[in-house]
Amino acid sequence: MAVQREALWTLVVPDALLDDAAGWPSRWGLSRILARSVRRHLGIQGRDEVIGWAVTGHAAATRAWAPAPVGWAADFRGPPPLGVLRIDPVCLMPGPGGVTMAGQQRVDIDPEEARRLCDSLADAFRDRGIGVRLATPDRWYMTLPHAPDVPWWAPETVAGGSLLDYMPDGDGGSELRRIVNEIQMLLHEQPDNQSRRERQVPEVNSVWPWGWAERPVPKVGSVADRVYADHPYAAGLALLAGVDVSAPGDNVEEPEGAAVVVPSTQRQADPEWLETTWGRSVFRAATRKQLRGVRLVTPGGNIAEFVPQRRRRFPWAGSGGA
Residue 251 confidence (pLDDT): 74
Tens of pLDDT along the chain (322 residues) come to 444 567 899 999 999 988 889 899 999 999 999 999 999 999 999 999 999 999 999 998 998 899 999 999 999 999 998 899 999 999 998 877 788 888 655 688 999 999 999 999 999 999 999 999 999 999 999 999 988 889 999 988 888 888 888 988 888 899 999 999 999 999 999 999 999 999 999 999 999 999 999 777 788 999 999 999 999 999 999 999 999 999 998 778 889 899 999 999 888 889 999 999 999 999 999 999 999 999 999 999 999 999 987 544 445 444 343 3
Residue 317 confidence (pLDDT): 45
Residue 224 confidence (pLDDT): 95
Residue 171 confidence (pLDDT): 80
The three-state DSSP-derived secondary structure of the chain is CCCCCCCEEEEECCHHHHHCHHHCCCCCHHHHHHHCCEEEECCCCCHHHHHHHHHHCCCCHHHHCCHHHHHHHHHHCCCCCCCEEEEEEECEEEECCEEEECCCCCCCCCHHHHHHHHHHHHHHHHHHCCEEEEEECCEEEEECCCCCCCCCCCHHHHCCCEHHHCCCCHHHHHHHHHHHHHHHHHHHCCHHHHHHHHHCCCCCCEEEEECCCCCCCCCCCCCCCEEEECCHHHHHHHHHHCCEEECCCCCCCCCCCCEEEECCCCCCCCHHHHHHHHHHHHHHHHHCCCCCEEEEECCCCEEEEECCCCCCCCCCCCCCCC
